[in-house]
Amino acid sequence: DTEVTQTPKHLVMGMTNKKSLKCEQHMGHRAMYWYKQKAKKPPELMFVYSYEKLSINESVPSRFSPECPNSSLLNLHLHALQPEDSALYLCASSQFSRGARNEKLFFGSGTQLSVL
Amino acid sequence: QKEVEQDPGPLSVPEGAIVSLNCTYSNSAFQYFMWYRQYSRKGPELLMYTYSSGNKEDGRFTAQVDKSSKYISLFIRDSQPSDSATYLCAMSGTGNQFYFGTGTSLTVIP
């Protein structure tokens, strides 16, 4: 099983709303990622969790708040977003072991977010 | 200079053609090389994975890595209209970051 499950698939929200994106994997991977992707661009890294601890935050605005409740789950809490935040939000995971090797990255199908 | 360079295309070929997609990179520490296929508004799907240099074949797809030239390729034989998508190369070394090319848009014309 190489599946990363993301919900919801589509989300429309107003600028004053609070919503959450959810991601789940059961591959035993210890690194989980949030990426943002605009049309015709590559995925842009937002956050990385390694062993349930936030290890990378790519200067993302505080209106995006990640959470890793356990090794299988990853959430992204959204609050007071702007229209320019409309994008495809991708969750991914990889089998990252301490001491370095980081091999394949598996993506979920994404959440298409529209901010009105 | 970007870590990974990829010609964005677009690339348009007739059905049955052989397609060649390429990426170059600058970081000699990269050891793991991936190709993803992405359909519009969907997540990238891992297509091929190669560790270090060499070739890997899976059905109609062949991935090549030349670490001495810092150059990787994906070949698609007997291309089909269903192969129409954006193809992303990605690579990593130690640490938990992956580096992506900009993606090449491919259209296979029936």
Task: Dump pLDDT digits (tens) for B67-104.
Answer: 999 999 999 999 999 999 999 999 988 777 899 999 99
Question: What was the pLDDT predicted at B70?
Answer: 95
Q: How far is CA A67 from CA A19, A53, A64, A74, in A?
A: 13, 9, 10, 6
Share of chain B above pLDDT 90, in %: 83
3-state class of A14 per DSSP? Answer: coil
- Residues in chain A predicted with pLDDT less than 70, given as ranges, are 1-2, 97-102
Confidence (pLDDT) at A96: 73
Contact B89, B4 (CB under 8 A): yes
**Residue A67 burial (10 A CB sphere; 0-12, 13-18, 19+):** middle
Residues of A with CB under 8 A from a CB of B: 2, 4, 6, 31, 40-43, 45, 48, 50, 55-56, 88, 90, 94, 96, 100-110, 112
Nearest Cα neighbor of A40 from B40, B66, B61, B99 is B40
Structure confidence at residue B52 (pLDDT)? 84
Does A105 contact B42 at a Cβ distance shorter than 8 Å? no
What per-residue confidence (pLDDT) applies to B49? Answer: 92
Nearest to B42 among A42, A100, A110 (CB): A110
Whether A41 and B102 lie within 8 Å, measured CB to CB: yes
Q: How much is the pLDDT for B42?
A: 93
How far apart CA A59 and CA B48 sit, in angstroms, is 31
The alpha carbon of residue B96 and the mean position of all alpha carbons in its chain are separated, in whole angstroms, by 20
